Structure 1
Amino acid sequence: MPSTPRRTVAPESREFLVMVALSMAMAAVSIDLLLPAFPQMREAFGLARGSTEVARVVTAFFFGLAVGQLFYGPLSDRFGRRPLLYVGLVVFAVGAVGSAVAGSLGTMIVWRFVWGLGAAAPRSLAIAIVRDSYAGDRMVRTMSMIMTIFIVVPIVAPSIGQVLVDNVAWRAVLWAPLGVGAVLALWMLRMPETLPPERRRGLAPRDLRDAAMTVVSTRETIGYGLASTCLFGMMAGFVGNAEALIDQVFGQADRFALIFGFVAASLALGSMLSARLVVRLGSARLMRFLTVYLVVVAVAHALLVVATGGRPPLWAWLVALTFLMPALTALLPNANTAAMAPLGRVAGMGAAILGAVSTAGGALLGAIVDSTFDGTARPFALLLLAYACVAATLVTVVARPPRTTEIPVVVVAEV
Structure 2
Amino acid sequence: MTRRPALGRVEFTAMLAMSMALAALGLDLMLPAFGAIRADLGLASDSTAVAGLVTAYMLGLAAGQLFYGPLADRYGRRPTLFVGFGVYAVGALLCTVAPSLDLLLLGRFVWGLGAAGPRVVTLAVVRDMFEGEQMARAMSFIMAVFIIVPVVAPTLGAAVVTVTTWRVLFVLCLVAAAAMGVWARRLPETLPVESRLELRLGRVARAARLVVTHRQTLGYTLALTSLYGVFTSYIASSEIIFGETFGRPEAFPVIFGGIAASMGLAMLGNTRLVRRFGTRRTAHAVLLGYVVVAGVLLAVALATAGRPPLAVFLPLLASILVGHGLLIPNFNTIAMAPMAARAGTAASVIGAIQLAVGATLGAVLDRLFDGTILPISFGFLGYGIVALLIVLATERGTLFRPLVDPVTRPTPGRPQQA
How would you bin the TM-score normalised by the shorter chain?
over 0.9
Deviation of 1:234 after TM superposition, in Å, equals 2.3
Amino acid paired to 1:279: R
Amino acid at match of 2:228: F
CA spacing shift, 1:159–1:343, aligned 2, 3 Å = same
Distance in 1 between residues matched to 2:7 and 2:218, nearest whole Å: 28
Partner of residue 90 from structure 2, selected from 67, 91, 94: 94
| Alignment-mate amino acid for residue 292 of structure 2 | V
Gaps of 5+ in 1: 1-7, 410-415
Which amino acid counterpart does residue 222 of structure 2 have in structure 1? Answer: L
Check conservation: 1:96, 1:177, Cα contact below 8 A: yes
Partner of 2:153: 157
- Other structure's SS at 2:57 match: helix
State the distance in 1 between where 2:276 and 2:293 align.
Answer: 23
Q: Are residues 134 and 61 of structure 1, via their aligned partners in 2, closer, same or farther at CA, if it must alter by over 3 Å?
A: same
Partner amino acid for 2:137? R
How far is 1:402 from its partner? 6.8
Is residue 341–residue 403 contact of structure 1 (8 Å, CA) maintained in 2? no
Q: Please tell me the residue identity of whatever aligns with 2:255.
A: I
Amino acid at match of 2:61: L
C-alpha distance in structure 1 between counterparts of 2:188 and 2:81, whole Å = 12
User: Cα distance 1:62–1:148, how it changes in 2: closer, same or farther (>3 A)?
Assistant: same
1:38 Cα deviation after fit = 0.5
The sequence identity of aligned pairs, in percent, is 44
1:259 paired to 2:255: yes
Q: Which residue of 2 aligns with 1:118?
A: 114
Q: Deviation per CA, 1:126-184, whole angstroms, max 9, x where unpaired?
A: 11110011000000011011111111110110000011101222111111111111111
Matched, 1:279 2:284: no
Structure 2 residue corresponding to 1:71, chosen from 61, 67, 74: 67
Q: What displacement does 1:408 show? A: 8.9
- Counterpart of 2:26 in structure 1 is 30
C-alpha change, 1:266 and 1:234, in structure 2 (3 Å) is farther
1:194 and 2:190 equivalent? yes
**Structural mapping, 1:319-334, within 5 Å:** 319-334=315-330
Displacement after TM superposition at 1:366 (Å): 1.2
**Superposed CA offset, 1:315-360 (max 9, x none):** 1100111211100110110100100000000111100100000011
Partner of 1:304: 300
Aligned residue number for residue 3 of structure 1: none
Q: CA RMSD in A?
A: 1.7
Q: Deviations over 1:248-281 (max 9, x none)?
A: 1000012211111122122113212212100000
1:404 Cα shift? 4.3
Partner of 1:291: 287
Does residue 347 of structure 1 match 2:340? no
From the superposition, tell whether residues 90 and 268 of structure 1 become closer, same or farther in structure 2 (CA, over 3 Å): same
> Does the CA contact (< 8 Å) of 1:23 and 1:184 recur in 2?
yes
Task: Give the corresponding residue for 1:242.
Answer: 238
Conserved? CA contact 1:225–1:339, under 8 Å: yes
- Per the alignment, do residues 9 and 132 of structure 1 end up closer, same or farther by CA in structure 2, a change over 3 Å counting? closer
- Stretches of structure 2 lacking an aligned partner (at least 5 in a row): none
Deviation, structure 1 residue 10: 2.5
Give the residue type in structure 2 aligned to 1:261. G
Distance 1:220 1:404 in 2: 16
**What secondary structure, in the 3-state scheme, does the structure 2 residue paired with 1:341 have?**
helix
Aligned residues: 403
Structure 1 residues 279 and 11: alpha-carbon distance in aligned structure 2, compared to 1, 3 A threshold: farther
Helix, strand or coil for the counterpart of 2:338?
A: coil
Question: Corresponding residue for 1:136?
Answer: 132
In structure 1, what is the Cα distance between the partners aligned to 2:255 and 2:414? 40
Partner of 1:412: none
| AA partner of residue 24 (structure 2) | A
Deviations 1:377-405, CA, capped at 9 Å, x for gaps: 10110111101111111222224767548
For residues 178-193 of structure 1, the aligned pairs below 5 Å read 178-193=174-189
SS of 1:68's equivalent in the other structure is helix
CA distance in 2, matches of 1:151, 1:395: 26
Residue 360 of structure 2 is matched in structure 1 by 364
Give CA-to-partner distance per residue, 1:212-246, whole Å, 9 cap, x none: 22111100000000111112222211101101100
Partner Cα separation in structure 1 for residue 22 and residue 414 of structure 2: 27
In structure 2, the partner of 1:172 is: 168
Instruction: Say if 2:57 and 2:112, in contact at 8 Å, map to a contact too.
Output: yes
SS of 1:138's equivalent? helix
Q: Which range is displaced more, 211-220 or 99-108?
A: 211-220
Residue by residue over 1:80-137, the C-alpha shift from the partner in whole angstroms, topping out at 9 and shown as x without a partner, is 0110111111111111000011000111000100000011000111111100110000
Distance (Å, rounded) in 1 between the aligned partners of 2:161 and 2:86: 26
The answer to whether residue 199 in structure 2 is matched with residue 203 in structure 1 is yes
Q: Provide, for residues 62-97 of structure 1, a one-character-per-residue CA deviation record: whole Å limited to 9, x for no partner.
A: 000000000000111011011011111111111100
Would the alpha carbon gap of residues 123 and 408 (structure 1) be closer, same or farther in structure 2, given more than 3 Å must change?
farther
1:41 matched to 2:37? yes
TM-score (norm 2): 0.93
**Is 1:60 matched up with 2:29?**
no
- Distance in 2, matches of 1:32 and 1:402, equals 36
Distance 1:51 1:35 in 2: 14
CA contact (8 A) 1:61 1:115 kept: yes
Determine the C-alpha separation between the residues in 2 that align with 1:224 and 1:402.
Answer: 15
Farther off after superposition, 163-172 or 48-57: 163-172
Does the CA contact (< 8 Å) of 2:242 and 2:252 recur in 1? yes
Q: Distance in 2 between matches of 1:49 and 1:169?
A: 17
Q: Distance in 2 between matches of 1:404 and 1:237?
A: 36
Indicate if the aligned counterparts of 1:133 and 1:408 stay in contact, CA closer than 8 A: no
Match of 1:19 among 15, 19, 26: 15
Query: Matches of 1:206 and 1:118 in 2, distance apart?
Result: 25
